[in-house]
Amino acid sequence: MAFQNPKQIALTIFKWILICILIGIFSGSASAFFLVSLEWVTQFRIQHEWIIWFLPFGGLLIGLSYYYWGDSVVKGNNLLLEEYENPQKVIPFKMAPLVLLGTLLTHLFGGSAGREGTAVQMGGAIADQFTKIFKLDNSERKILIILGISAGFASVFGTPLAGAVFALEVLYFSKINFKSIFLSFLVAYAAYFTVEFWQVEHRQYYISEVPEISIESIEWVVILGIIFGLASMLFARSTHFWTFIFSKTIKYPPLRPVIGGIILAIAFAGFGLTKFSGLGVPVIAESFWTPNPWYDFLLKILFTGFTLGAGFKGGEVTPLFFVGATLGSALYLIVPLPIGFLAGLGFVAVFSGATHTPIACTIMGMELFGVQPGIFIAIACTIAYFSSGSVGIYKSQIVKGAKFKLYQRINSKFLKFKV
């Protein structure tokens, strides 16, 4: 490696700090605008539920926009993961406005989707534009992608620590260098404080009662972790299944969200299932206090997988929160632990299993619910991570580490047994 004098080192440090601040400001501002817009369209839909019948029309607009202008960015989050693993070309900036518009249309008309995918894609697209501005090479582009994911996640959920770690963990921790770690935290806080500057508030959730640490409570948390991990697996498989079905049965892409929109509109408006449309935040909040029906989490998995598989835009994380919180709440009827505690564990553990990010989810749980339930959150997220299978919601994610080795051993033993 070529020797750098103190002046070069100082310029390099200044360059990356400047990049982090700029990405944080731009991504944080984009997320702030997105959150305000998302709240507006959500409230409009709640006050005018008849608009759900126009979901096929919204699907047509989304389908046509991506078919004619967004073919190069249609992979969404998976494109970010692919570019990190094998850098090819700068992510087009049009990813940001396309996914923003697509997500707002999805939620305006009642599609069941989340919001993290939108913020992460906007952050990634914004960050990668600095490749040309600062004439960065491929190794430096990888850092930009980390920064974009970190800024997007931290700003949309108001969890800077979890956002920084999520960006590192979802991209395969062991390939991350020290510089990326420091910069990921820096950009996460820059984006987080930018949203705070715009006075955009994040939804707060609370665990009102945490059980004492005991053998019995830990045993229950381990069992719950397995259940939440299986729910994660079902969610990921459902999303991939519906994506496969729509792509195979409907060859013209813009028609997929139209057909999907018709079916969803009938289900939501025709059968009174509007609680499963949109983000479902009121249901999540209620699950911390009131037991949910046992089938709520299954219906959210079905409708979210169907919505995203049909080609609507958004994300998976908030629906994962819905699935975990409602499943934990429903288990209150048979598990002798506080209902808010069960909902909170499910909230983060299902997310952990579906994204293969137990560390980030543990940190998120403590950022949201405090450090008191931290040991339980860590156990649940870790067990869910190992119980959720080898395929998560992001097809292009590289799964390595202890989980990868565990499944390798299981597969090798299974093959020997078959022989």
Q: How far apart are CA 132 and CA 255, in angstroms?
A: 36
pTM of the complete model? 0.93
Q: Which of 31, 51, 161 is nearest to 96 (CA)?
A: 31
Helix (H, G, I), strand (E, B) or coil at 74: coil
Residue 242 buriedness (CB in 10 A; 0-12 / 13-18 / 19+) = buried
Domain 6-197 and domain 215-403 have a common topology? yes
Please answer whether residues 56 and 262 qualify as being in contact, where contact means their C-beta atoms are separated by less than 8 angstroms: yes
SS3 233: helix
**Any residues with CB less than 8 A from the CB of 272 and at least 6 apart, and which?**
none
Cβ-based burial of 388 (10 A; exposed 0-12, middle 13-18, buried ≥19): buried
Residue 265 parent element (H or E): helix 255-265
Give one word for 191, left, alpha or beta, with left for phi > 0 and alpha for psi -120 to 50.
alpha
Residue in the block written with tokens 């990668």: 128
Fold adopted by 215-403: Clc chloride channel (1.10.3080)
- Looking at residue 391, its pLDDT comes to 86
User: And the tokens for 253?
Assistant: 């892409």
Please report which helix (H) or strand (E) contains residue 111, including its range: none
Measured distance CA(315)–CA(313) in Å, rounded: 7
Domain boundaries, the chain: 6-197, 215-403
Task: Band the pLDDT of 404: cuts 50, 70, 90.
Answer: low
Q: Percent of the chain, pLDDT > 90?
A: 86
Predicted confidence band at 402 (pLDDT cuts at 50, 70, 90)?
low
| Banded pLDDT at 6 (limits 50, 70, 90) | confident
Q: Which residue has the tokens 């397995």?
A: 226
Instruction: Identify the CATH homologous superfamily for domain 6-197.
Output: Clc chloride channel (1.10.3080.10)
Query: Could you tell me the two tokens for 389?
Result: 């299978």
Give the pLDDT mean for 390-399. Answer: 83
pLDDT at residue 414 greater than cutoff 90: no
Find the mean pLDDT for residues 54-62. Answer: 98
